[in-house]
Structure 1
Amino acid sequence: MVAVGPSFVPDVTFTGSSLTGWHTVGNAKWTAENGEIVGKPTAASGGWLVLDESYQDVGVYVEYRCTGGCQAGVLFRETKGDAGMKGTFVDLSDPQITTYSVTLGADGAITSRNKARRGGGLVRFTPPPDPNAPVRNYRPRPTAAGLPLTPPDTSLKAGEWNTAEMFMDANVVRTFLNDGREHGAVSDETYGPFALYVGGTGEVRFKNVKYKDLSIKFRQPDKTSPNFRRQILTDFFYSFSVAAADFNHDGVEDIVSGPFIYYGPDYTRSEEIYPAEAFNQTSGFPGDAWIQSAADFTGDGWPDIISTNYGSLGVTLYVNPGADKHRRWDKFQVVKEVQSEVAMLRDVDGDGKPEIVYMGGGQVRYAKPDPANPTGSWIIKNVSEPGYGTAHGIGVGDINGDGRMDILNAYGWWEGPKDPAHDTWKYHPVAFGRYGRGIMGGAVMGVYDVNGDGLPDVVTALNAHGWGLAWFEQKRDAQGNITFVRHMISDDLNTKAENAGGVVFSEPHASGFADVNGDGIPDFIVGKRYLSHVNTFLDPDSFGQPVLYVYKTVRDPKAPGGARFVPELIDNESGAGSEVLSVDLNHDGAVDIVTPTRFGTIVFWGKPGAEEKH
């Protein structure tokens, strides 16, 4: 099996050897033994084990093994039809995990099955079919050969144990086989129990059967760490991005998040740089505000803003009008295409000016203004060969200690060359990410000495739309060859022993690093992007609490690798977007944290003296 355990906290887990609370229909014998449900067909048409309780929206997780020519599946929303029963049937014996609308005869036999229309994806409700809609043929970008991180085999394993996680919600059923990609289909919006199925010959065994009423949501009472003061800049969803600079030259740091600059020192006065339009918190994405960075890109002495956006929007430059006040800023598209949902502004070529590091065209890249024409197309440098670009995970730091910046992503790191004009840097393969539901790679990756041995390590989320935080301990052999050992910080709901402080959350799509507790060692700041793929069950635990944490780096010779990470909750009603900004905005000696989220943009002011309490 690829993954064990559900991505949700179940209401019910089947245990024991009794089928109380279930009833049978059709031609099959059902028994329970030591937490396993066993079904054996007594005729090829098979039969059903039906839950007595009904649900409209429900999440179901099973581990199952079908042997001896059996057929297995799960029926959702069983209701009475004209001549028997009907419902939505997920065929777990089909390698394609096809979903059908089925009718059942009085004897439980399937009398008709019609393949359900494809549904799901980035919508909760699949709309009616549009006969004029263009045909979309998704073709993933080709990847390089010999990568250290490759998609696991999530296909159906005949005769072996498999996992299936299914979410029946609204008019969509989503099935994830062996923690692979979504198999989505449209369902009638009816109400009824779900049922396990066995047919054909042989037997099916289900174990770790867990389910949850998806109509019930939980939110904890608001909580903010006493070491921080919470200030809401806006409670509208404008942005996943944030940056800081003194935009009006008054000597005070300002904040930009989406269409607004919030002027310091109190950040209660704001001004548009482009026309503001808020997005739907549950179904929208922030348009031209995925990643924002601030620097003087035009050379006129005023800090400008770039917005690096996933897809064809590319990189947009907003030029600071300087002394020309009371106006929005002119904008220019300076990079046409961006593949990544994360980017970093760093000086990677040693010229004293920052470049934007991102992925594009299947390659790791950075871009910089053309000094002769900074509002025209920027100069693009390819760091990697084609096939190494990822959507998630970017880091910049000196891995090998040669004084030059190296660039990282989920596939490893690229060594900064002596000649900054050199294309395609030397590649070092390392799996700095982990696959889940077809996605891998984290957010901003930190490079610093975690355990105090003098070697830079790597700290990162493993999957921005899934689970996992880890640090990678750098090792060197006698010849100076560099390898890394992974140490988990937090894993998933089913690995309590590996979750530091008992803390676990999914969708860690934004992260940053700063010395929050004043011990001279960077700490790991990371937040959950709530409803990252909108209000669907496309991502694991997408409706989980929108938390923001700082994981304090503690050097401990008794811990694996010589260090451990201690979580402190900053806030549980914010989370993060694509960026977490950590900076001492008011120069009081305490790190302040700004997070742009679906709930607005929020500042958490560090309290001077609180370092001793962290």
Structure 2
Amino acid sequence: MLKLNFLSVNLLSLNGSNTMSRLIPFILVVFLTVAATSPVAQTGGGRNSTIGPARSGELVFVPVKIDGPKHDPANHTFWFGPFAECSSVLDINGDGKLDIAAGRNYYIAPNWTKYSNYRDGAATNGPDVDDNFEGTMDVNNDGRMDVISSGWMLKQGIYWYENPGKLGAKWKSHAIHEATGVEGLVIGNLSGKSDKDLLVNYFARQPGRSLIWMEHINRPPWFKEHKLGPEQVGVSHGGGIGDLNGDGRNDAITAMGWFEAPSRPTEDKWTWHPDWKFQSGGASHPIVATDATGDGLTDVFIGSAHQYGLAMYEQKLENGKRTFTERWIETEFPTFHTIKLADLDGDGKVEIITGKQILAHNGGDVGGFEPTFLFYYTTHGGDFQRHILSYNHLLPYFTDHKDGPPPSFVIGTGMKLNAEDMDGDGKKDIIVACRTGLYIFFNKGPSSKKRGTNYMPARDSYPDNIDWIRR
């Protein structure tokens, strides 16, 4: 059995020359097609973690690097940043193609033309990672998609940036919620009226602080604040949106439990259910919810943002009593700071996309210098299967020789993942912004190659050392 946390994949970080950079996507595809289908050992650690046996029909993803930090130690920039740790996908110029915004820059499809420092107040959320969340919506109903971001440095809080409708023009910033200790937000329908509502998440408890959500309204200032519950209740690192009780209304999910939406969410009291307590280093942001077991009940998924592990809280309903049982999917991998649900294989069921936040807290988190990774999981009725998108060691690239060649493709996550069809082929691609750069993993669908076939050319068609070795 292959235990992936001991697997060494040095192919992914070859010297950063132009030639090798062009070769790396193809090298990585070969690795993915072979290694991701290998049997995976269950990860233990004393908690009931289970990863099932591998299945056939593996998807192939081709990673393309769109941008990244310049490795220039003399000027205090390195291959590991500073760079944006979040991105959002939107049609910026109205041409029908999906573009990407990432921190202070945006990139226009199809050639990913870069426009730098587009925001009015580009360092609003901090000079290091730009922001800790990005999302997109048409805030002011002018027909143009805007960007919403949050941060905890410098000017703190949640802001939206108004799309001016002209490439190269500055996007005006507007404050939505000014506060300290903001970990991020989740966009979704909490009011029952609009998919543009915001669930605010704080990593810091403060006197008088309550968990809040922002209702999107159709007039300035475009958002109206609502309290979810009493002071401090549910205030914790990580939050999410999902219908947990199947009543057709989205509930607010936290690391400590969930707030049940009433029939009139903007007017009536939300009911607090302390049905679980995640205690492994702060919950991921977002927390996500889906029926992973196929029993018709929505389960909750929480990653450890700053320690080890990925957990499911499996929902059961017996005799009218609703319970959530903790079940660990992973226990030996660290810093699952963000999670994304998306149907990658087109079977109508969502996969769970997540990975390691690279050098969280500037390498200060536990496991900070352990291998970095990007995974997705198929659920198969609760029988989880891990699939490798990227996996690499970090330590070889931290040496005393600061002027050494930087790696090209060390990929993990930042604090926001996206899954959209970027090339119009009908398959969801994965968009990742992290400290090492901005990447698109283009989804090419299942491999058509047969595993047992030798695809090398005939030996007499190219020079080799086979005869010499046999002597």
**Residue aligning to 1:585:** 422
**Residue aligning to 1:446:** 288
Specify which of 358, 363, 385 is matched with residue 535 of structure 1.
363
Normalized per residue, the structure richer in strand is: 1
Take 1:325 and 1:445, find their aligned partners in 2: how far apart are those partners? 34
Specify which of 379, 385, 389 is matched with residue 566 of structure 1.
385
Amino acid across the alignment from 1:380: E
Q: Kindly indicate whether the alpha-carbon contact (under 8 Å) linking 2:234 and 2:257 is maintained by their aligned counterparts in 1.
A: no
**Residue aligning to 1:465:** 306
**Residue aligning to 2:192:** 350
Residue 374 (1) aligns with residue 221 (2): yes
**Residue aligning to 1:54:** none
1:30-61 deviation per Cα after TM superposition (whole angstroms, max 9, x unaligned): xxxxxxxxxxxxxxxxxxxxxxxxxxxxxxxx
Take 1:451 and 1:424, find their aligned partners in 2: how far apart are those partners? 31
Residue 267 (1) aligns with residue 104 (2): no
Matched position secondary structure for 2:198: strand
Residue 315 (1) aligns with residue 158 (2): yes
Take 1:453 and 1:467, find their aligned partners in 2: how far apart are those partners? 28
Specify which of 321, 325, 335 is matched with residue 485 of structure 1.
325
**Residue aligning to 2:431:** 594
**Residue aligning to 1:399:** 244
Q: Kindly indicate whether the alpha-carbon contact (under 8 Å) linking 2:234 and 2:255 is maintained by their aligned counterparts in 1.
A: no
Matched position secondary structure for 1:607: strand
Q: Kindly indicate whether the alpha-carbon contact (under 8 Å) linking 2:201 and 2:237 is maintained by their aligned counterparts in 1.
A: no
Residue 413 (1) aligns with residue 258 (2): yes
Going from structure 1 to structure 2, the CA distance change for 1:465 and 1:582 (only over 3 Å counts) comes to: same
- Please list, as runs of the form range in 1=range in 2, the aligned pairs for 1:2-13 lying within 5 A after superposition: none
1:354-392 deviation per Cα after TM superposition (whole angstroms, max 9, x unaligned): 1121125643221245533237xx421111221134452
Residue 241 (1) aligns with residue 74 (2): no
User: Aligned-pair RMSD on alpha carbons?
Assistant: 2.8
Q: 1:239: how far off?
A: 1.2
Take 1:274 and 1:513, find their aligned partners in 2: how far apart are those partners? 28
Going from structure 1 to structure 2, the CA distance change for 1:340 and 1:610 (only over 3 Å counts) comes to: farther
Q: Kindly indicate whether the alpha-carbon contact (under 8 Å) linking 1:356 and 1:368 is maintained by their aligned counterparts in 2.
A: yes
**Residue aligning to 2:440:** 603
Q: 1:268: how far off?
A: 4.1
**Residue aligning to 2:181:** 339
Take 1:342 and 1:258, find their aligned partners in 2: how far apart are those partners? 14
Amino acid across the alignment from 1:546: T
Normalized per residue, the structure richer in helix is: 2
**Residue aligning to 1:136:** none
Q: Kindly indicate whether the alpha-carbon contact (under 8 Å) linking 2:152 and 2:180 is maintained by their aligned counterparts in 1.
A: yes
Amino acid across the alignment from 1:487: R
Q: Kindly indicate whether the alpha-carbon contact (under 8 Å) linking 1:359 and 1:389 is maintained by their aligned counterparts in 2.
A: no
Q: Kindly indicate whether the alpha-carbon contact (under 8 Å) linking 1:589 and 1:608 is maintained by their aligned counterparts in 2.
A: no
Amino acid across the alignment from 2:433: P
Going from structure 1 to structure 2, the CA distance change for 1:389 and 1:426 (only over 3 Å counts) comes to: closer
Q: 1:580: how far off?
A: 0.9
Going from structure 1 to structure 2, the CA distance change for 1:277 and 1:546 (only over 3 Å counts) comes to: farther
Take 1:446 and 1:350, find their aligned partners in 2: how far apart are those partners? 19
Going from structure 1 to structure 2, the CA distance change for 1:372 and 1:233 (only over 3 Å counts) comes to: same
- Please list, as runs of the form range in 1=range in 2, the aligned pairs for 1:250-289 lying within 5 A after superposition: 250-270=95-115, 272-274=117-119, 285-287=128-130, 289=131
Q: Kindly indicate whether the alpha-carbon contact (under 8 Å) linking 1:342 and 1:578 is maintained by their aligned counterparts in 2.
A: no
1:233-278 deviation per Cα after TM superposition (whole angstroms, max 9, x unaligned): 2112431111111111111111111112211234244454227989
Q: 1:327: how far off?
A: 1.2
Q: Kindly indicate whether the alpha-carbon contact (under 8 Å) linking 2:186 and 2:198 is maintained by their aligned counterparts in 1.
A: yes
1:276-308 deviation per Cα after TM superposition (whole angstroms, max 9, x unaligned): 989xxxx97314x21011100011111111112
Q: Kindly indicate whether the alpha-carbon contact (under 8 Å) linking 2:419 and 2:431 is maintained by their aligned counterparts in 1.
A: yes
Specify which of 360, 364, 370 is matched with residue 544 of structure 1.
370
Specify which of 232, 250, 255 is matched with residue 65 of structure 2.
232
Larger radius of gyration: 1
Amino acid across the alignment from 2:436: F
1:565-584 deviation per Cα after TM superposition (whole angstroms, max 9, x unaligned): 11111012211111111122
Going from structure 1 to structure 2, the CA distance change for 1:268 and 1:321 (only over 3 Å counts) comes to: closer
Q: 1:432: how far off?
A: 4.8
1:72-130 deviation per Cα after TM superposition (whole angstroms, max 9, x unaligned): xxxxxxxxxxxxxxxxxxxxxxxxxxxxxxxxxxxxxxxxxxxxxxxxxxxxxxxxxxx
Q: Kindly indicate whether the alpha-carbon contact (under 8 Å) linking 2:414 and 2:433 is maintained by their aligned counterparts in 1.
A: yes
Take 2:437 and 2:176, find their aligned partners in 1: how far apart are those partners? 28
Matched position secondary structure for 2:150: strand
Q: Once the two structures are aligned, what percentage of the paired residues are identical?
A: 27
**Residue aligning to 1:296:** 138
Take 1:402 and 1:346, find their aligned partners in 2: how far apart are those partners? 16
Q: 1:423: how far off?
A: 5.6
Going from structure 1 to structure 2, the CA distance change for 1:425 and 1:605 (only over 3 Å counts) comes to: same
Matched position secondary structure for 1:534: helix
Matched position secondary structure for 2:283: coil
Q: Kindly indicate whether the alpha-carbon contact (under 8 Å) linking 1:593 and 1:604 is maintained by their aligned counterparts in 2.
A: yes
After the TM superposition, which of the residue ranges 417-426 and 297-306 deviates more from structure 2? 417-426
Q: Kindly indicate whether the alpha-carbon contact (under 8 Å) linking 2:147 and 2:162 is maintained by their aligned counterparts in 1.
A: yes
Q: Kindly indicate whether the alpha-carbon contact (under 8 Å) linking 1:576 and 1:597 is maintained by their aligned counterparts in 2.
A: yes
Take 1:368 and 1:610, find their aligned partners in 2: how far apart are those partners? 44
Going from structure 1 to structure 2, the CA distance change for 1:516 and 1:372 (only over 3 Å counts) comes to: closer
- Give ranges in structure 2 of 5+ residues lacking alignment: 13-27, 34-59, 70-81, 392-409, 451-471
- Please list, as runs of the form range in 1=range in 2, the aligned pairs for 1:131-170 lying within 5 A after superposition: none
Take 1:389 and 1:547, find their aligned partners in 2: how far apart are those partners? 30
Q: Kindly indicate whether the alpha-carbon contact (under 8 Å) linking 1:297 and 1:374 is maintained by their aligned counterparts in 2.
A: no
**Residue aligning to 2:317:** 476
Amino acid across the alignment from 2:214: A
Residue 523 (1) aligns with residue 351 (2): yes
Using CA pairs under 8 Å that are at least 6 residues apart, name the structure with larger relative contact order, 1 or 2.
2
